[in-house]
Structure 1
C-alpha cells in the first residue's frame, strides 16, 4: 500500500485511488477464474493469519479494509490467548488493507488469489504492532541515510505422508541425494511451476539433510518484498503438498532426535549514494574479506545484538531443540567466512561476481519467526552498527565448539541462548531493539514468549515437537 507517510491516516483521496485501482484489477482476476482473495499477515508467534473476500468485494477491501481483531497479536501457537499491556482481550478492531502491488493469483490454489495485508486502525493510521509497517519504517530509516538492503529467506521444510498427527517422511533417499528428487519428481516439478506462475524467482531447490526434507532458495529483493515472498513460498509449498497427498511442516523441530528446519536470512547492504549506482558494502572494500567499513559495521551491529535477536528470529521453545552445536544451526555468536557452524556466515560469492553476490547469512533463525519482524530487527541492529562504526572481532575458521572454552572467551566467541527464556532476557535488556521496536512491540513479544514458555513448562522434547510440528 503506497502511503506517503508512515505516521498519518489514510486520506479520502488515497482510499478512492486504492478502490479504483482494485476495481481495475477485478476483470483480470475474473478472467483467470479467481473467486476470492486471501489477505494475510503474520502474528507474533509466526503463524500466518488470514481473512478472505470474494473478488467482487476487493474494491471495498482495498479502500476500507477488512475487519480483524487485534487480539491475534497475543495468540500463542496453539491458538490460546495471552494478555499484555498492549495486546490481548476482546476490545478493538483493525482493518486489513491488501497490498495491490503483490496481489497475485495462486497457481497452487485454483480460484484463489493472495495479497499481503497492512493493518491499520479504524481511523486509517498504521497499527503499531503491524510487523510489515515496522519493516517499512526500518527500510525508510536506512534510505534516509543513503542505504538499502537486499534480502532473501531460505525455506526448509519436511514432507510427511503419515496418518493423523504422526510424522512419516514422504521421501527416504540419502541426504542431498538425487534419489530424493526422483522419489518426488512430480511434486517438485509442480511446486516449481506454481512458484514461477506467481512470479517467484527460484534460484535453486535441493534435498536437505533429514529424511523427507527439502530446501528452496529465492532471489534477493528489497526487505518488504523478501518477507512477502517468504509467506507466498511457504503457502504455495503447503498447498502443493496437500494436492499431492502430503503435509508440509516448517517447524524448527519435527522430530526430537532429528535435525530441524532453519529459516536462514541472507542480507547485503547497499550504498545508494554512489554516483555510479548502488554499491554492495559487503564487497569491493578493504575490510575483512572485501567488506567496506560500513558493511563490516552493519554485520557487527547484528552480531552484537544476536542473543537478543533470537527472541525474534528463533521465537519458539522448539527453536532451541534445533539450535545446538554440530548441526549447522549457528549455535555460537560469532562470524566466519563460509563457516556453517557460525551464527553469521559471510559469503563472498564466486570470483567475478562478488560485487553482486557478497552477503551475510544469519543461520540461527528459523521458520517460526515472523519474517517481517525478523527483518525489521536485523535492519535496526545493523543500522545501529553503521551509526556507531562498529568493528568485527576476528573471524572464526573452525567449528566454534571445537575451540576450548577458555580460548572461546578470549576470542569473544559466545554460546547463544540455549532456551527461549534466556533469549527473552537478552531481548528485554537490548537497548537497540527496545528503542527501535518500541514499548508496545517489545511488551507484546515478551508476553507471547512467556506464554509459550509457560505452555511447555515441564514438557519433554518429544512433547514439544509433537505439539509444534504442524503449527508452522
Structure 2
C-alpha cells in the first residue's frame, strides 16, 4: 500500500464510519520488531482517515529494541534522531472480537517523505513475495501457533514462580498430552478462542491440546505469505485477549519452563505455478516438481542462518533440542517430525495436497522476517539448482556421531550466537533484507545473546516467559 494516496481518504472515512457503527472506538496499529515483539500505536476511530493519509509518527529506534526493551544500535539505526510514519493497511482492518470497542490493523512504515523504510519487515516480506511472482512462483503459507496457559495472578496463580519447579506455573488443567480432559476442563475457553477467530475471518484448521502442561495449538489455513504473517499476529493477540477474559494468561515463549517441551510456531509452505501444485508432479520422486526440489533445497541449505530469524531468542535454544520433534538437525524427511524440513505428502488424489513444514521456528520470530527470509533462501536455491540430499527416516538424534557424519546429518546451531554467526555469513539473506534491515537484525541478535550469556536456562525462561 502506498502511503496516504488521496483516493484512500474516502475509503478510510467509510471504514471509520462502519467501525463507529459497530461501536469501535479505537484501532491498534501494529508492527513487529526485530526481537519478535508486537509493538503498537493506537488511534481513535475518528482519526483513521488522517492516519491513512499522513501516517502516525514513531521512532526508527524500535528496530533495535531487544525483547526486554533495552536499546542497542546498528550502523544505520539507533539513538533519538529521526522519525517514521505508520500507514495502516485498510484492507486488513479487523474488529477485535475479544476486545470490545477495538479494531486492529497492521502497518507499513515509511519515512516522512513517503519513501519506504528500508527496515520495514512487512515490506521486506512483500518484496520477497513479488520476487517469487517474478520467478513464476505462487506461494501459500500457514502457521501452527502453540501457547501455554496459566491461571493469572487475579485467580491466585503464580505465573512468575521459579521456573525450575515442576509445579512452578499454576495450570488451569492437568490433563494428559492431547487429552480430551483438557478440552472438557477448558471447553468454554477453547470455544471462545474458536469463536473469536471465526468472527475475525481466521480460517481455523485445528484447535487442540498439545504436549506440555497447559499447552494448546491452533493451526490456520494457508494464505499468501503476507496475509499469513498478518494473521499470525492477529491470532496471538486474540488468544491473549480471550485468555485474559477467562482469568488466564497465555505465553507464546519458546521455553515457558526450562527442561519442558517449548512452544513452536511451525511454518508450512506450498509452491505453485499458476494453478499447478509443485507437490503433485506425476512420476517425480516424492511427488516434487524439480523446481520444488530446488526451492526446498535452498531452504534446507540456508537453515543454519534461517535459525537466527525463526529462532531469535536465547530461549529458542532451550527448546531446540534433539528427540523432541523440534527439528534440531539440518536434514529433511518425508513425514518425519524430527527433521528440520518435513515433507507433508497429503492425501492421495488431493490435487491441492502436499506441502513442506519448517519445524524449528518458534513464536519469538517476527513472522514477516520469517516468511521473507524463507522465500529468499528458496529462490536462491531455485536459481542455483540446489538439490535435496537423501531423506532421513527415524530420529537422527539416536544415531551415533559417526553414523550421522556418514549420512551428512549436521546438528543445527545450538545457540543464538552460533546461528547469528551463520546469518552474518549469509550473502543471500543480506542482499534480500538490505543493509539497514539486515544490520538491525544482527545487532538485536548480538545484544540478546550478550545479555543472557551468563544466565542459567531457568533464568532465561523466566526472563522471556511473558515477553511473548
Q: How many residues align?
A: 456
Deviation at 1:285, TM superposition (A): 4.2
Deviation at 1:410, TM superposition (A): 2.6
Report if the CA contact (8 A) 1:424-1:446 is conserved. yes
Could you tell me which residue of structure 2 aligns to residue 347 of structure 1? Answer: 344
Which residue of the other structure, out of 159, 165, 168, is the alignment partner of 2:160?
165
Asked if residue 112 in structure 1 is aligned to residue 102 in structure 2, the reply is yes
Which residue of the other structure, out of 372, 378, 382, is the alignment partner of 1:376?
372
Aligned-residue Cα RMSD (Å) equals: 1.0
Residue segments in structure 2 that go unaligned for 5+ positions in a row:
152-156, 162-168
Which residue of the other structure, out of 281, 298, 303, is the alignment partner of 1:301?
298
Deviation at 1:407, TM superposition (A): 2.3
Runs (4 or more) in structure 1 with deviation over 4 Å come to none
Asked if residue 75 in structure 1 is aligned to residue 72 in structure 2, the reply is no
Residue correspondence of structure 1 range 308-319 to structure 2 within 5 A: 308-319=305-316
Could you tell me which residue of structure 1 aligns to residue 229 of structure 2? Answer: 227
Residue correspondence of structure 1 range 269-308 to structure 2 within 5 A: 269-272=271-274, 278-308=275-305
Structure 1, residues 124-151: CA drift from partner, whole Å, max 9, x if none?
1111111100000001111111111000
SS at match of 2:352: helix
Structure 1, residues 241-272: CA drift from partner, whole Å, max 9, x if none?
00000100000000002110001000011112
Asked if residue 452 in structure 1 is aligned to residue 425 in structure 2, the reply is no
Could you tell me which residue of structure 2 aligns to residue 463 of structure 1? Answer: 459
Q: CA–CA distance in 2 between the matches of 1:281 and 1:412?
A: 26
Could you tell me which residue of structure 2 aligns to residue 184 of structure 1? Answer: 186
Deviation at 1:25, TM superposition (A): 1.0
Structure 1, residues 159-194: CA drift from partner, whole Å, max 9, x if none?
011235233222210000000001100000011110
Report if the CA contact (8 A) 1:285-1:293 is conserved. no
Report if the CA contact (8 A) 2:150-2:159 is conserved. no
Report if the CA contact (8 A) 1:331-1:343 is conserved. yes
Report if the CA contact (8 A) 2:63-2:77 is conserved. yes
Report if the CA contact (8 A) 1:261-1:367 is conserved. yes
Could you tell me which residue of structure 1 aligns to residue 114 of structure 2? Answer: 124
Q: CA–CA distance in 2 between the matches of 1:56 and 1:439?
A: 37
Report if the CA contact (8 A) 1:159-1:171 is conserved. no
Report if the CA contact (8 A) 1:251-1:470 is conserved. yes
Residue correspondence of structure 1 range 55-94 to structure 2 within 5 A: 55-94=45-84
Range with bigger deviation, 221-230 or 279-288: 279-288
Asked if residue 322 in structure 1 is aligned to residue 319 in structure 2, the reply is yes
Which residue of the other structure, out of 233, 251, 254, is the alignment partner of 2:253?
251
Could you tell me which residue of structure 2 aligns to residue 133 of structure 1? Answer: 123
Q: CA–CA distance in 2 between the matches of 1:334 and 1:121?
A: 42
Deviation at 1:19, TM superposition (A): 1.8
- Normalising by the residue count of structure 1, what TM-score does the alignment of the two structures yield? 0.95
Structure 1, residues 278-303: CA drift from partner, whole Å, max 9, x if none?
11112224433100000111110000
Which residue of the other structure, out of 167, 174, 177, is the alignment partner of 2:176?
174
Report if the CA contact (8 A) 1:46-1:369 is conserved. yes
Could you tell me which residue of structure 2 aligns to residue 363 of structure 1? Answer: 359
Structure 1, residues 37-68: CA drift from partner, whole Å, max 9, x if none?
10000000000000010010000001111001
Report if the CA contact (8 A) 2:327-2:360 is conserved. yes
Q: CA–CA distance in 2 between the matches of 1:204 and 1:310?
A: 26
Report if the CA contact (8 A) 2:159-2:170 is conserved. no
Q: CA–CA distance in 2 between the matches of 1:362 and 1:271?
A: 21
Could you tell me which residue of structure 1 aligns to residue 383 of structure 2? Answer: 387
Report if the CA contact (8 A) 1:344-1:362 is conserved. yes
Asked if residue 43 in structure 1 is aligned to residue 33 in structure 2, the reply is yes
SS at match of 1:154: strand
Report if the CA contact (8 A) 1:70-1:93 is conserved. yes
Report if the CA contact (8 A) 1:282-1:296 is conserved. no
Residue segments in structure 1 that go unaligned for 5+ positions in a row:
4-9, 273-277
Could you tell me which residue of structure 1 aligns to residue 164 of structure 2? Answer: none
Report if the CA contact (8 A) 2:203-2:220 is conserved. yes
Which residue of the other structure, out of 413, 419, 428, is the alignment partner of 1:417?
413
- Normalising by the residue count of structure 2, what TM-score does the alignment of the two structures yield? 0.96
Report if the CA contact (8 A) 2:30-2:106 is conserved. yes
Could you tell me which residue of structure 2 aligns to residue 203 of structure 1? Answer: 205
SS at match of 1:92: coil
Q: CA–CA distance in 2 between the matches of 1:171 and 1:115?
A: 34
